[in-house]
């Protein structure tokens, strides 16, 4: 056997599907075995992948053993002259394996090789070439000097910034996402150290290879796509902890004395620094827009109040206490209404901003009318403050959309945001995938992998893709590898605008995968039904409805004491729903394919679980319909029909 390809999978079945399709094409003309070790995935990887890849040897672990142990288990089965450790969230071009083996053979079999990696947007991944960590190297990286001087041999040593990404180099560290090593060298130095659960194994193995006289090479003549951020979420607190724990293990294993103590200290500083940055980034990502809206609203009110007092009603002095209450109250009302209307969910709609502003404005103006005369101030300040705040928030969002910092869910935008590079047959397959995912309206049209006159019905040829992206303000391009080779695709994506999202689809596969950045979890489109009950806005509104209805039942308790057969059971359910242990309406069956929701007092049949006598198949169909068509009014209908059973 010439080559053994080893892949460790953990809950990334769609990415692994695309990876295996690319690996199959790269194996042409070589004697290759592919071994996949699954670390107890819970995303049904086995039933999804095993039937589609009969030539792949799958090993299904009963627990998550970690990256090192899973790879070592696969090595015990491998028979290849060369071993390739490959991440599941990668795509390899057709000539990748051939080129790497040819390169290793030119080095007389005393070398290991890694390759040039780019992310889903075409950006070069700096970890493709790295030096061993040292106290000073780590200090320069943690202090930000490596960013300020990205080409410096001293300050940017961690990622060897002084070495060109387009030339071959001898390096210290090979990236675990792609490491090709002669089997005899692994037998000599040993495989991965199982002390490392995730991260650091590649650094440790690279170090031991170099100590044994092996040379590690960065090979730039072939490139792979590495989506990253899949098995763990980069930038998360968990990632920070795992990464720096791995670095500590490496230092304790290979360094000693003062050098090790200094390094451990710097690592602890790094943990605290990265943890702070990760927490800050997470807060800004989740709350950045609401915080900006709150600042905009408060500023707008005070600006209007200043001009009102200065130019319109100079003779009136408004109570500062009243204003300090009114302005924050409107701001809080706006943020609450916006949250439940979905304004801060992924995909901005201007109608949500209008609705949130109108509802919050009506609440404030209604509350103003209830104030005693001594506490009232000009309605003009309220009205014009609301209008100014709306105008500024709308302008800011339009600016963010223009800069592509904010995604839009506007129907007209969505209809013209995706181009598909594929032949006619694969274009139909991708359209069907998008249709099943409820995203068919996003597809603008097809780009031919050749020239337009060769492919009737296409918007243009591949040479016109950059022009089409600019002309139609395209945000996303889907590449089908049967429409264009992966080698050509990888070369092309690095030349497209950085704001363009790229996704990839292998002919015959059941998914489309991609990633906007190396630092975020990847995205995928799969032939799976979309359920309305899974949408964040509907989940929030369902919970809000549960709380509101429970509060209503508590306030109106005398009525229910007479109407309910067992009031004690009824109010036990009321408080259980209020505490978040139950929902008023849940599923009638234990269908694990549906989005999870709390167990219901009633089920989708409007009956309690114990009273359902329909066949299991009928109950599943009822749940399927409920999850697909969910609205709060659907819960209202179920409760109205099953009110008399709410004591169960």
pLDDT digits (tens, 9 = 90+) for 36-45: 999 999 888 9
pLDDT of residue 404: 59
Mean pLDDT of the chain: 82
Report phi then psi at 627, rounded to 5. Answer: -65, -35
User: Where does the pLDDT of residue 304 fall: very low under 50, low under 70, confident under 90, or very high at 90 and above?
Assistant: confident
Give the whole-angstrom CA distance, residue 380 versus residue 382: 5
Q: Are strands 90-91 and 511-514 parallel, antiparallel or unpaired?
A: unpaired
Instruction: Determine which of 338-342, 422-426, 460-464, 469-473 has the lowest per-residue pLDDT on average.
Output: 338-342
User: Where does the pLDDT of residue 240 fall: very low under 50, low under 70, confident under 90, or very high at 90 and above?
Assistant: low
Cα–Cα–Cα angle for 71, 197, 58, nearest 5°?
Answer: 30
pLDDT of residue 90: 95
pLDDT surpasses 70 at 443: yes
Cβ neighbour number for residue 63 with a 10 Å cutoff: 8
CA dist 505 → 225, 260, 414 (Å): 13, 47, 20
pLDDT of residue 38: 95
Residues 217/103, Cβ–Cβ less than 8 Å:
yes
pLDDT of residue 412: 43
Q: Are strands 476-480 and 460-461 parallel, antiparallel or unpaired?
A: unpaired
Residue 173 DSSP class: B
pLDDT of residue 516: 59
pLDDT of residue 167: 94
Instruction: Determine which of 369-373, 531-535, 595-599 has the lowest per-residue pLDDT on average.
Output: 369-373
111 in helix, strand or coil? Answer: strand
pLDDT surpasses 80 at 320: no
pLDDT surpasses 80 at 228: no
Residues 5/33, Cβ–Cβ less than 8 Å:
yes
Q: Which residues pair with residue 181 across a beta bridge? A: 83
Check: pTM over 0.85? Answer yes or no.
Answer: no
Q: Which residues pair with residue 217 across a beta bridge? A: 113, 170
Residue 446 DSSP class: E
Q: Which of 238, 61, 111 has its CA nearest to residue 71?
A: 61
Instruction: Determine which of 54-58, 333-337, 457-461, 529-533 has the lowest per-residue pLDDT on average.
Output: 529-533
Residue 482 DSSP class: T
pLDDT of residue 367: 75
**Residue appearing with tokens 């950059």:** 466
pLDDT digits (tens, 9 = 90+) for 104-133: 999 876 789 999 999 888 889 998 998 877
Which residues, 6+ apart, have CB-to-CB distance to 216 below 8 Å? 111, 112, 113, 114, 170, 171, 172, 173, 174, 206, 209, 210
Q: Where are the alpha helices (DSSP H) in 342-417?
A: 350-369, 379-402, 411-414
Give the whole-angstrom CA distance, residue 90 versus residue 5: 13
Long-range Cβ contacts of 547-551 (<8 Å, 24+ apart): 547/577, 547/578, 549/577, 549/584, 549/639, 550/574, 550/575, 550/577, 550/578, 551/578
256 in helix, strand or coil? Answer: coil
pLDDT surpasses 50 at 411: no
pLDDT surpasses 80 at 266: no
Residues 421/477, Cβ–Cβ less than 8 Å:
yes
Over range 49-72, report the average pLDDT: 92
Residue 124 DSSP class: B
Instruction: Determine which of 258-267, 331-340, 514-523 has the lowest per-residue pLDDT on average.
Output: 514-523
pLDDT of residue 196: 64
pLDDT of residue 415: 45
User: Where does the pLDDT of residue 144 fall: very low under 50, low under 70, confident under 90, or very high at 90 and above?
Assistant: low
CA dist 76 → 190, 209, 212 (Å): 12, 19, 22
Report phi then psi at 179, rounded to 5. Answer: -130, 115
Pick the residue with more confidence: 633 or 531? 633
Q: Are strands 476-480 and 501-505 parallel, antiparallel or unpaired?
A: parallel
First to last CA, the chain: 64
pLDDT of residue 263: 67
User: Where does the pLDDT of residue 16 fall: very low under 50, low under 70, confident under 90, or very high at 90 and above?
Assistant: very high
Over range 213-230, report the average pLDDT: 86
pLDDT more than 90, % of the chain: 31
Pick the residue with more confidence: 232 or 343? 343
């Amino acid at each position: 056997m010439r080559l053994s390809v080893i892949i460790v999978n953990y809950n990334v079945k769609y990415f692994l599907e695309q990876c295996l399709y690319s690996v199959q094409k790269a194996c042409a003309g070589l004697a290759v075995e592919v071994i996949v070790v699954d670390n107890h995935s819970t995303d049904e990887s086995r039933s999804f992948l095993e039937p589609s890849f009969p030539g792949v040897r799958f090993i299904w672990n009963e627990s998550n053993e970690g990256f090192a142990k899973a790879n070592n288990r696969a090595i015990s089965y491998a028979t290849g002259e060369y071993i390739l450790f490959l991440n599941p969230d990668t795509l390899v071009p057709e000539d990748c394996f051939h080129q790497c083996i040819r390169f290793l053979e030119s080095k007389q079999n005393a070398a290991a090789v890694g390759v040039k990696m780019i992310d889903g947007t075409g950006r070069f991944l700096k970890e493709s070439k790295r030096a061993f960590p040292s106290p000073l190297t780590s200090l320069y990286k943690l202090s930000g000097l490596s960013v300020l001087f990205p080409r410096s041999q001293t300050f940017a040593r961690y990622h060897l910034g002084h070495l060109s990404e387009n030339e071959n180099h001898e390096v210290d560290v090979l990236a675990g996402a792609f490491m090709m090593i002669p089997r005899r060298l692994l037998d000599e130095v040993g495989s991965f150290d199982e002390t490392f659960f995730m991260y650091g194994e590649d650094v440790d193995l690279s170090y031991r290879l170099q100590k044994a006289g092996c040379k590690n090479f960065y090979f730039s003549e072939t490139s792979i796509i590495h989506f990253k951020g899949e098995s763990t979420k980069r930038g998360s607190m968990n990632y920070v902890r795992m990464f720096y724990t791995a670095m500590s293990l490496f230092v304790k294993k290979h360094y000693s004395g003062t050098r090790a103590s200094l390094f451990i200290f710097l690592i602890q500083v790094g943990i605290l620094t990265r943890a702070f940055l990760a927490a800050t980034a997470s807060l800004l990502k989740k709350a950045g827009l609401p915080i900006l809206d709150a600042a905009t609203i408060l500023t707008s009110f005070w600006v209007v109040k200043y001009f009102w007092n200065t130019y319109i009603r100079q003779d009136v002095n408004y109570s500062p206490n009243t204003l300090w209450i009114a302005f924050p109250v409107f701001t809080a009302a706006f943020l609450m209404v916006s949250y439940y209307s979905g304004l801060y969910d992924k995909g901005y709609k201007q109608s949500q901003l209008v609705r949130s502003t109108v509802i919050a404005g009506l609440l404030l103006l209604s509350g103003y009318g209830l104030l005693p005369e001594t506490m009232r101030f000009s309605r003009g300040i309220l009205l014009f403050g609301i209008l100014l705040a709306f105008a500024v928030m709308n302008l800011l969002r339009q600016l963010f959309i223009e800069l592509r910092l904010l995604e839009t869910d506007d129907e007209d935008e969505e209809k013209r945001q995706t181009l598909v590079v594929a032949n006619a047959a694969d274009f139909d397959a991708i359209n069907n995938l998008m249709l099943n995912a409820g995203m068919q309206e996003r597809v603008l049209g097809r780009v031919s992998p050749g020239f337009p006159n060769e492919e009737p019905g296409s918007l243009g040829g591949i040479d016109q893709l950059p022009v089409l992206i600019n002309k139609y303000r395209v945000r996303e391009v889907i590449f089908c590898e049967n429409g264009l080779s992966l080698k050509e695709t990888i070369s092309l994506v690095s030349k497209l605008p950085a704001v363009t999202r790229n996704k990839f689809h292998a002919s015959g596969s059941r998914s489309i995968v991609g990633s906007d950045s190396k630092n975020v979890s990847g995205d995928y489109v799969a032939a799976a039904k979309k359920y309305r009950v899974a949408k964040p806005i509907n989940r929030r509104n369902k919970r809000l409805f549960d709380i509101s209805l429970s509060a209503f039942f508590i306030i109106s308790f005398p009525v229910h004491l007479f109407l309910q057969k067992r009031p004690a059971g009824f109010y036990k359910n009321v408080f259980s729903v209020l505490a978040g242990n139950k929902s008023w309406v849940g599923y009638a069956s234990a269908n694990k394919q549906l989005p999870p929701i709390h167990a219901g007092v009633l089920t989708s049949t409007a009956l309690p679980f114990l009273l359902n006598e329909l066949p299991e198949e009928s109950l599943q169909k009822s749940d399927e319909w409920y999850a697909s068509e969910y609205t709060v009014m659907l819960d209202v209908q179920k409760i109205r029909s099953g009110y008399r059973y709410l004591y169960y």
